[in-house]
Amino acid sequence: MDLVWFLLGVLLLILVAWDVFETIVVPRPTPGWFRIGRYVVRSSWWVLRRTAGRGPDRGPTRERILGLFAPAVTIMLLFAWVVALALAFGLILFALRDQLEPPPTNLGTAVYFAATSVLTIGYGDIVANGTVARIVVIAAAGAGLGVVALVVTFLFSLYASYQRREAPVVLLQAKAGSPQSAVVLLENMARLELVDHMPGFFGEWERWEVEVLDSHVAYPLLGYFRSSHDNLSWISALGTVLDTATLVLTTIEDIPRGQAQLVRDLGIHLVEDITNLGNRAPAASTVDRPAFDAVYVRLGAAGYRLVPEADAWAAFSAARSAYADRLEAMAAFWMTPSVSWFGGSDPLRSPTHRPDAPSVPAPDEATRQAS
């Protein structure tokens, strides 16, 4: 037996088994210095990001390509693990070539025999005669079947978590528009006389945050699954809910603030944990005073009783800084729609998203008219 080839094969086999175990079986993030799955996902996404481009264009072709990434990379992981298993068992069997009939004359032939064992093809052109070699061949077949079964189960689990994540995001579109906007959400809640339901709304999203925090930290691949609807993403939905809670806490009076505080605190925790996994790209989010003044006018026109504007601006800008930059970094990394709290509109030009709403002048014009 060639001990060097045998030890190399055992080492590679341990690395593959550990990577599969950490990626699929362990329900928590497990960083490591060598992770086949991590490098496959990260490197593939790096290439796709640069191929698809980072510009503002979000045409259907680019979105379709980005939407294919997560399912495709799951298949790539299976392929990478199977290839690594074949190579690992090939190294071991090459070390045990004296127990094979006919003995492989080179490493490639041993890897071929290992691949037919891992894939349970078994052509029979090479046969294991020795006890150790037979054990290795049986282990190769069991490892191949086990990895395929684990990946299939993993894929079903990912899709179940994905569906639980996306249903509330699509439902939010009816209230907050597309792209989602905290300002539009608050306007529609007032227009539909649903302001009293705001605590229940925040309670539902608190439970959503718990689900996403648990699933996306345990299985970071979920972050790469995109919404099937244009201009929607779980990141922008989270930003909309956090901005809405922040406006309730800092700017709007007469809405119970307890549940808003809870959903905001948990949302900040979620954003921090996701970005701490490395799922972020350089980005920054700012809200300037003129934009806030315009939104302040819109909320007043919607019928809300507001905190004095100067106090509201100071509190809002400070509170939003706790999560906004990280959210924008997540959106930049995953190339999702902006998490701007204005949604797709410019509040200085479009006072409202409602076609039947009265026109609201910009702050300077409102001041001139009042004087």
| pLDDT tens by residue, 105-149 | 899 999 999 999 999 887 878 888 989 999 999 999 999 999 999
pLDDT of 223 above 60: yes
Burial class (CB in 10 A: 0-12, 13-18, 19+), 347: buried
Contacts of 99 (CB under 8 A, 6+ apart): 128, 129, 130, 131, 132, 133
Output the CA torsion 257→259→262→264 (10° steps): -70
Distance CA 186, CA 194 (A): 9
DSSP 217: H
pLDDT of 348 above 70: no
Indicate the domain borders of the chain. Answer: 3-151, 177-370
| pLDDT tens by residue, 31-50 | 666 778 888 888 899 888 88
pLDDT of 52 above 80: no
Q: What is the number of other CB atoms lying within 10 angstroms of the CB of residue 217?
A: 18
Answer yes or no: are the C-beta atoms of 15 and 35 closer than 8 Å.
no
- In single-letter form, the type of residue at position 95 comes to A
Determine phi and psi for 136, rounding to 5 degrees: -65, -40
Q: Average pLDDT for residues 306-332, to the nearest whole number?
A: 91
The pLDDT of residue 225 is 92
Q: Average pLDDT for residues 234-244, to the nearest whole number?
A: 92
Quickly state the pLDDT bin for 358 (edges 50, 70, 90): very low
| pLDDT tens by residue, 158-208 | 999 999 999 999 999 888 887 788 999 999 999 999 999 999 999 999 999
pLDDT of 7 above 70: yes
Contacts of 289 (CB under 8 A, 6+ apart): 313
How many helices (H) and strands (E) the chain has is answered by: 13, 2
Answer yes or no: are the C-beta atoms of 359 and 351 closer than 8 Å.
yes
Q: Which residue has the tokens 């790096």?
A: 46
DSSP 314: H
274 three-state secondary structure: helix
Task: Please choose, from the candidates 282, 234, 231, 205, the residue with its C-alpha nearest in 3D space to the C-alpha of residue 70.
Answer: 234
Distance CA 94, CA 111 (A): 8
Distance CA 287, CA 340 (A): 9
- Side-chain half-sphere exposure of 236, counting CA atoms within 13 A: 30
For residue 308, whether the previous peptide bond is cis, meaning omega lies within 30 degrees of 0, is no
pTM recorded for the entire structure: 0.81
